[in-house]
Amino acid sequence: MPRNSLNTANRHLESVHALPEMALVENKLHHVLTGDYDVLTQMGLHLLSAGGKRIRPLLAICTGRALGPLTPKLINTAAAMELIHMASLVHDDIIDHSSTRRGKPSLNALWGNQPSVLAGDFLFARAFGLLATSGLNSCLKLAVDTIEQMCQGEIEQAVKGFKLDITEDEYLERITKKTAVLLSASCQAGAMIAKANKETVLALGEYGRYLGLTYQIIDDLLDLTGQPAQLGKPTGQDLQLGNITLPLIILLSNGQQAPLLEEALANRNYNKIIEVIHNSGALEQAQKKAAAFAIMAKSSLTCLTPSPYKDLLLALPDLAMNRIN
């Protein structure tokens, strides 16, 4: 990505934190995660203190505000999308036995698996409550359908661990369910709150899906190339969990490295696998795939008229391509 384009994207990211709408979302999250339940309040405050990019609520806010006014329903919807994301991360950390998240101890590391599972369920319940009490039945249905797909993606990943016969199409379908559907739903929800027509809702859903694919492919690359201190979590986790990601799929597709990789994976020789991937050109090919999805994401925004919110949406795919954490 050209340096001047990246600088522009970074300026847009800095402006995210100045958005008054995002401050309202943060206040709403604090309100729903604190209350009379002492342990749950401690867990909620811990999750909030860990920060996060708040991409899902940002997408709901930007699509909603690009098409209509700020309303309490839009704030509640944006907060609900972040609560769903938080819940999925809590459950992911339990499944993956992760002890850190964003450079801080994970919930399961501090409180154990059983309380953390229930805390994740509590976050889902709070998300549903925000949507239900706002009378947002269409957004509630969208959220339920999205969580169903996210669960399907996680189950598919779990049952296919360490299996090298996964195709690129299967990988893309899996990361669509695991990651992209929630970004897509966040975009659609914002548009639905603004009472956009069906074509616009679908187009913005496609934007979110392509952005999610970009984001997850780069995330998978960072697991192989990133620095733990910047990522806030250990690298190489995908290999250790048997999650076969795009660089490895690309490498396996030529057939020549398959026996070596199968032996290394069977012996849990992860350093060897990473070495082979780094020397193969597979990382660069995967990055090109991500870049293609980033272009497709931006091209999906022609339904929006010019505005600062559209500018932010246009910047996000470039920012996803240049992530370091």
What's residue 59's pLDDT?
Answer: 98
**What are the tens digits of pLDDT across the range 54-64?**
999 999 999 99
Percent of the chain exceeding pLDDT 90 equals 70
> What residue numbers bound the domain in which 36 lies?
3-321
| pTM of this prediction exceeds 0.85 | yes
Residue 231 in this model has a pLDDT that exceeds 90: no
What's residue 4's pLDDT?
Answer: 52
**What are the tens digits of pLDDT across the range 99-124?**
988 889 999 999 999 999 999 999 99
pLDDT band at residue 9 under the 50/70/90 scheme: low
**Length of the chain as a residue count:** 325
Residue 221 in this model has a pLDDT that exceeds 60: yes
pLDDT band at residue 233 under the 50/70/90 scheme: low
What's residue 7's pLDDT?
Answer: 56
CATH number at residue 88: 1.10.600.10
Distances in Å between the Cα of 121 and the Cα atoms of 138, 254, 316 are 21, 43, 30
Percent of the chain exceeding pLDDT 70 equals 93
pLDDT band at residue 1 under the 50/70/90 scheme: very low
Residue 186 in this model has a pLDDT that exceeds 90: yes
Q: Of 138 and 3, which is predicted with more confidence?
A: 138
Number of compact structural domains in the chain:
1
